[in-house]
Amino acid sequence: MQEIGIERQRSDKPYAGKVFAAVHAHVSDIPYFASGLCAKLMAEGFTGYLIRTSNDETSGGKSTAQNILSNETEHAAMAKALGFKDVFELYYRSHRMNEISPIELRGRLVLLFRFLKADTVLSYHRDSEGEPDSDRWITGRAVEEACWAAASRNDFHEHQEAGILPHPVRERYYFHVRPGQPFNRVVDISGHIGQKIDAILECRSQGNGNAGSLLRARLAKEGRRLPLLGGDDRTADRAYVRQFLLEDFRSYSRGHDFEYAERFEYSVPLPEVSATVDEYIDKNAVKL
């Protein structure tokens, strides 16, 4: 059984100057699985960048073009709500990512990790077992491969010729997407639950961000109302998310002294080889 680590909010900025990249396939995935962690890391000094691999053309219930546009707009608004510095869109066709070259996707991610100098990466678990959404496991596998390739001087050497040098990704957080998926880190997100709700609210084409206002309107036509939903659409949407869509994140915190949590499998940072060598020299070198 894995030992479970608890990651709590820090009041200082110990990670000033550090960079993380959050990579997902669909607009609503980061908001649900990792928005609390993203907000926490940025509050602690990280600069965050958001990368979406698919165009989400199959989500929204409208034409392909309208779905692409609405999801792109909502993605930008969600990134702003969480405080990301910039957003990168790869625009692969949703639910058809198994058609693309794995090497192409890996290369594009390697380029971004090197260009951004990403120290930390957040994405799907590298194990695709039980994941029905091929966009997710294809993205997760490519991210895993890109993390180690980003540090290699012999992979995608053309990047170096353009002045973009190899850069090691030191740590990774893998989303906990479904029951039974392994995790070894519980992150206290209680101080950022408002931002998590704000992020989910922007996911209207997918993710139930406007479910509260839709329910409020339906009940009004039936001559009924729920006091929970308040007197306007924004209040209704926020109340719906808090009441009905955050139960998993409340359950993850049970047994701990905080209210909301997210789960991850955390990959412990590997020590730099040069630092290991220097440490050995300091302990063992003798005078000539």
Q: Determine the pLDDT at residue 4.
A: 93
DSSP 225-272: --GGG-SSHHHHHHHHIIIII-HHHHHTTTTSSSS-EEEEEEEPPPPP
Q: What is the DSSP letter of 82?
A: H
Residue 251 has a pLDDT of 97
Q: Which pLDDT does position 83 carry in this prediction?
A: 98
The whole-number pLDDT of residue 271 equals 64
Q: What is the pLDDT of residue 162?
A: 95
Helices (H), 61-208: 64-82, 102-116, 134-149, 158-161, 193-201
Query: Helix (H, G, I), strand (E, B), or coil: what is residue 165?
Result: coil
Hey, what are 128's tokens?
């695709």
The pLDDT assigned to 114 comes to 98
List the pLDDT tens digit at each of the 288 positions of the chain: 578 999 999 989 999 999 999 999 999 999 999 999 999 999 999 999 999 999 999 999 999 999 999 999 999 999 999 999 999 999 999 999 999 999 999 999 999 999 999 999 999 998 777 789 999 999 999 999 999 999 999 999 999 999 999 999 999 999 999 988 899 999 999 999 999 999 999 999 999 999 999 999 999 999 999 999 999 999 999 999 999 999 999 999 999 999 999 999 999 766 666 667 878 888 898 888
> What pLDDT shows up at residue 273?
61
* pLDDT recorded at residue 102: 96
User: In terms of C-beta density within 10 A (0-12 exposed, 13-18 middle, 19 or more buried), how is residue 100 classed?
Assistant: middle
Chain centroid to CA 179: 18
**pTM of the predicted structure, to 2 decimals:** 0.92
Q: Tell me, what's the pLDDT at 167? A: 96
